[in-house]
Amino acid sequence: MTLKKYNQGMSKIHLSPYEIILKKRNGGNLSELEIDFMVRGFNECAIPPYQFSSFLMAVFFRGMSEDEIFSLTKSMMNSGEVLSLSEISKYTVDKHSTGGVGDKVSIILAPLAAAGGVTVPMMCGRSLGHTGGTLDKLESIRGFRTNLSKKDFFRNLKKSKVAMMGQTEKIAPADKKIYALRDITATVDSIPLIAASIMSKKLAEGAKALLLDVKTGNGAFIKDIGDSEKLARLMVKIAKKMKRKCTAVITDMNQPLGYAIGNSLEIKECIETLHDRGPEDLKSLCVEFAAHMFLLGKKTKSIQAGKILALRLIKDGSAFRKLCEMAKNQGGDVKSLENPSLLPSAKYICRLKSAGKGYIKGINTHEIGLTAVMIGAGRKDLSSKIDPGAGIMLHKKIGDFTEKGEPLATIYTSRKNLTGYAKERLLDSFSISKTVPAKQKLIHRIIR
């Protein structure tokens, strides 16, 4: 529908993008109709990007009321197909993270929750800015297809209770277009825009319940804990209004999660974790999240019971077997999961040694993420290709002691010319102190 027709359809009401932008710029509250008019107009190319950018900037500075955010979410959700998964299962539970460095939780959690009987229809994203993307990580398993048809997605869910794929063109297309514009107009880190972006696609994907991992800290998009809490509460409210169950967990991103950063390195760490040999922070977050998913999916009656179930499914190998089953369904090379040395690896490996002696007091996680992108683990722009074997393996995290000359990290890359600069950037990302720093909290808050 063109904007003109939309305007005509609105009986005698005539809306103007200019007047709506002006109203928001002056701090006014927009009606559901005005917001829908802007979203549809931009999605259908009737409102040009320069006007929509101005609208986004007005929202960035003036914010939005809860009603406005809800209207924005609904318009974006209804811009494409809204799936119903009721033919697959009564209790479908999806999980979404706001994005972090070394955040590989979904790849462990989806098969773990499915092994416990929850149906997990997971639509995931690609790397964004300094953060990695689940789709890119999965694609480092040779042959793994993330562009499933709806028919294959549904078939795999019925057969194995788990499927992981990319957002289709038909799901919340307005979010895709608006996100691309936000990315180049400095309007990403806005709470109303993030909430509407995440919730519009998650609601359109049709899961009955949703677990949200809201990252906070120097490696997250939202760095301040108060703002992260606002975002989490807002998303839970939106879900409730749309009659979906939702739990949001605010988790720490002041250092990478686990030790591996980069696609195949992270798959190896996921395999280790599913064999119960993974890093403690990663394992405990996955177990906590699985317990929430079991509760949301009515598989257990308490978080404690869910944690016990999750630990058992890791220990007896069911969760790892489920990962292999999902990979097989989606064309992935299962042999490389059974023998991770077959996963892609980078040509050059070099060690970063500590310049001083003491305790690791802080890690600039954003810088580590950007360094990983630079050496090939992420995309600098839409056209760049990811090197699946590139990345960084940390050897020390906050609170660890290091001697001078001890390895802090190992760099994996196929771009030898960048190793010197990568080492410099990484070295600057660690701060060392003579005193033992306070213990890092992994889970800050849980909002139901």
Asked about 182 being catalytic, the answer comes back as yes
**Cα–Cα distance measured from residue 84 to residue 87, given in angstroms and rounded to the nearest whole number:** 8
- Which residues have a Cβ under 8 Å from the Cβ of 149 and sit 6 or more positions away? none
Q: How many CA atoms lie within 13 A of 348 on its CB side?
A: 14
Question: Among 36, 103, 175, 252, which one carries the catalytic annotation?
Answer: 175
Asked about 425 being catalytic, the answer comes back as no
Question: Among 197, 264, 354, 429, which one carries the catalytic annotation?
Answer: 197
Question: In terms of CB distance, is 98 or 371 closer to ligand URA?
Answer: 98
Secondary structure (DSSP) of 218-243: TTSSS--HHHHHHHHHHHHHHHHHTT
Question: In terms of CB distance, is 132 or 278 closer to ligand URA?
Answer: 132
Residues in the chain: 448
| Closest approach of ligand URA to the CB of residue 72, in Å | 12
Q: How far is CA 79 from CA 117, 137, 299, 310, in A?
A: 32, 29, 33, 37
**Cα–Cα distance measured from residue 139 to residue 119, given in angstroms and rounded to the nearest whole number:** 22
| Closest approach of ligand URA to the CB of residue 430, in Å | 27
Asked about 444 being catalytic, the answer comes back as no
Token pair listed for 109:
């959690």
Question: In terms of CB distance, is 197 or 273 closer to ligand URA?
Answer: 197
| Closest approach of ligand URA to the CB of residue 139, in Å | 19
Question: In terms of CB distance, is 34 or 103 closer to ligand URA?
Answer: 103
Beta bridge pairs of residue 446: 249
**Cα–Cα distance measured from residue 347 to residue 362, given in angstroms and rounded to the nearest whole number:** 30
| Closest approach of ligand URA to the CB of residue 53, in Å | 15
Asked about 423 being catalytic, the answer comes back as no
Question: In terms of CB distance, is 98 or 264 closer to ligand URA?
Answer: 98
Beta bridge pairs of residue 360: 432
Question: In terms of CB distance, is 221 or 259 closer to ligand URA?
Answer: 221
| Residue pair 238/201 in contact by the 8 Å Cβ criterion | no
Asked about 75 being catalytic, the answer comes back as no
Question: Among 177, 201, 268, 299, which one carries the catalytic annotation?
Answer: 201
Dihedral angle at the C-alpha atoms of 6, 7, 12, 18, nearest 10 degrees?
150
Binding residues (CB under 6 A) for ligand URA: these are: 98-99, 193-194, 197-198, 221
Handedness of CA 327, 328, 333, 334 (dihedral sign): positive
| Closest approach of ligand URA to the CB of residue 200, in Å | 9
Question: Among 96, 130, 208, 245, which one carries the catalytic annotation?
Answer: 96
Q: Which residue has the CB atom at the shortest distance from ligand URA? A: 197
| Residue pair 13/33 in contact by the 8 Å Cβ criterion | yes
Question: Among 24, 95, 137, 182, which one carries the catalytic annotation?
Answer: 182
| Closest approach of ligand URA to the CB of residue 122, in Å | 14
Supply the residues annotated as catalytic.
Answer: 96, 175, 182, 197, 201
